[in-house]
């Protein structure tokens, strides 16, 4: 199975190499800003001519936003715009132009309705001080050295890795991976190189192919499994909040930049900002490491994993829970499970956002009309079941897999999918066929949940 995969390694750059990388990142920014200025000038000119009543066929010629067109325009003007262009790799300028072409396409698709999700704004100019330095190489010499502790990139030469690249080197030597690009980026005060690789992964099977597990994510426990296992929420941000507050107060006492007066930040301000950035990066790394370990274990152990399609953006609107929800990383758990279940030969089933997993009794199937967030135990008035709220929801999620296994093809019918839970509503017995093959992601359609579930599911 061929798939796209990334390998990311930390770098140990000397001062000369760091200056070279920063120069390439600056070249990408210059090309991006120049091309954006050209696009804006043409758009503004055409808009002004329309106000004069000039016909469309007589307007200033429109400028193409495709990467080849932007690259052609840049090559024609680079001698005047950047006389130093020969000091940097052509990939540096291509990085900025490619970022602009993607941004303009996303903006246009968002306006015409071709792109779903949030509305994408018009691209902005990149600032030297606020933009994260980054440059991507797609051509030239890109390889991992035989000692597996150095990499070679175009114009930058031989760079030392902070850690061994043996995992990637083994694949390259075996011929099961091919490097497509390499991106050098600075995150949290440290430089990293990320290789985008086309890997030929061997077919794998989960340790328990017939096992089905429902995963109910929350705040008290990061995840509650239908098997009864409780995954504690480490709350890395809350644990490091005292240190972050100390560093933030120390930063506020330094002389920082002022855009209104053009004041430059002091050296001590820059050092304090770097310390604060490293502290935030440590919290993010701890969170990422824990989520990767959890999702890898679930994907390797169980053949079917069932999760919910949570409205995380809506949950963050609750100012009392937003910080803890963001610290847990609900969306990241689902994102990692999506590709890890495919890699391990399993399947991921996603329950619809309106499926009442918490309000449904896992014993008899009765659906409650209301369930307050403060009720941490589920009490069924029909069969008398008393069970932990999260464990009950996880069991209901695991039970959804039967609708895929026992039916034929097509989506599973919802329980009166009007996004409302009827008072005393019993689970409908009518079903329509639905399947999800191994290595794919299935979606369970609406099951009848109240519209305010966005907040009540943040547990």
Q: Is 216 a catalytic residue?
A: yes
What are the residues facing 71 on neighbouring strands? Answer: none
Neighbours of 371 (CB within 10 A): 20
Residues in the chain: 459
Q: Is 213 helix (H, G, I), strand (E, B) or coil?
A: strand
Q: Is 390 a catalytic residue?
A: yes
Instruction: Give every CB contact of residue 244 below 8 A, 6+ residues apart in sequence.
Output: 276, 279, 280, 283
Q: Provide the CB-side half-sphere exposure for 312 (13 A, CA).
A: 19
Q: Measured in whole angstroms, how far is the alpha carbon of residue 335 from the centre of its chain? A: 7
Residue 86 DSSP label:
G
Catalytic hit among 91, 98, 327, 390: 390
Angle between helices 67-81 and 15-51 (to 10 degrees): 110
Instruction: Specify the long-range contacts of residues 13-21, CB closer than 8 Å, at least 24 apart.
Output: 13/159, 13/160, 13/191, 17/156, 17/157, 17/159, 18/191, 20/155, 20/156, 21/133, 21/135, 21/156, 21/184, 21/191
Catalytic hit among 308, 327, 352, 449: 308
Q: Is 203 a catalytic residue?
A: no
Q: Which two tokens stand for residue 380?
A: 């069924």
Residue 364 DSSP label:
T
Neighbours of 355 (CB within 10 A): 26
Instruction: Specify the long-range contacts of residues 97-105, CB closer than 8 Å, at least 24 apart.
Output: 97/31, 97/32, 97/35, 97/67, 97/70, 97/71, 98/67, 98/136, 99/28, 99/32, 100/32, 100/35, 100/36, 100/39, 100/65, 100/70, 101/65, 101/66, 101/67, 101/70, 104/39, 104/65, 105/65
Catalytic hit among 91, 98, 216, 327: 216
Contact 44, 91 (CB under 8 A): no
Q: Is 196 helix (H, G, I), strand (E, B) or coil?
A: strand
User: Rounded distance, CA 232 to CA 223, Å?
Assistant: 7
Catalytic residue numbers, as ranges: 216, 308, 390
């Amino acid at each position: 199975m061929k798939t796209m995969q990334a390998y990311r390694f930390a770098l140990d750059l000397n001062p000369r190499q760091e200056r070279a990388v920063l120069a390439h990142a600056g070249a990408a920014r210059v090309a991006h800003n120049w091309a954006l200025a050209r696009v804006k000038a043409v758009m503004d000119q055409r808009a002004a001519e329309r106000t004069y009543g000039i016909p469309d066929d007589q307007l200033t010629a429109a400028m193409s936003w495709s990467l080849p067109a932007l690259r052609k325009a840049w090559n024609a003007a680079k001698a005047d715009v950047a006389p130093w262009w020969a000091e940097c790799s052509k990939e540096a300028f291509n990085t900025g132009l490619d970022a602009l072409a993607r941004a303009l396409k996303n903006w246009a698709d968002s306006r015409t309705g071709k792109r779903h999700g949030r509305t994408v704004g018009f691209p902005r100019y990149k600032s030297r001080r606020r933009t994260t330095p980054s440059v991507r190489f797609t051509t030239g010499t890109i390889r991992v050295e035989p000692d597996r502790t150095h990499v070679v990139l175009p114009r930058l030469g031989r760079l030392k890795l902070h850690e061994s690249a043996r995992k990637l080197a083994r694949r390259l030597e075996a011929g099961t991976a091919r490097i497509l690009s390499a991106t050098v980026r600075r995150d949290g005060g440290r430089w990293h190189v990320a290789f985008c690789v086309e890997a030929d992964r061997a077919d794998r099977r989960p340790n328990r192919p017939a096992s089905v597990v429902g995963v109910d994510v929350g705040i008290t426990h990061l995840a509650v499994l239908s098997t009864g296992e409780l995954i504690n929420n480490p709350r890395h941000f809350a644990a490091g909040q005292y240190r972050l507050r100390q560093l933030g107060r120390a930063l506020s006492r330094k002389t920082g930049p002022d855009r209104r007066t053009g004041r430059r930040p002091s050296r001590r301000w820059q050092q304090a900002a770097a310390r604060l950035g490293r502290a935030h990066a440590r919290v993010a790394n701890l969170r990422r490491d824990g989520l990767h370990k959890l999702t890898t274990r679930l994907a390797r152990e169980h053949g079917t994993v069932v999760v919910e399609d949570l409205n995380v953006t809506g949950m963050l609107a609750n100012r009392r829970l937003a910080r803890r929800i963001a610290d847990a990383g609900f969306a990241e758990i689902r994102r990692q499970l999506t590709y890890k279940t495919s890699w391990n030969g399993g399947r991921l089933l996603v329950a619809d956002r309106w499926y009442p997993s918490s309000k449904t009794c896992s014993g008899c199937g009765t659906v409650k009309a209301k369930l307050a967030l403060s009720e941490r135990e589920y009490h069924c008035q029909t069969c008398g079941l008393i069970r932990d709220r999260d464990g009950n929801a996880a069991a209901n999620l695991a039970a959804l897999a039967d609708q895929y296994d026992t039916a034929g093809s097509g989506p599973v019918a919802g329980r009166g999918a009007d996004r409302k839970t009827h008072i005393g509503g019993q689970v409908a017995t009518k079903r329509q066929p639905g399947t999800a093959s191994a290595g794919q992601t299935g979606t369970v359609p609406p099951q009848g949940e109240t519209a305010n579930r966005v907040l009540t599911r943040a547990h």
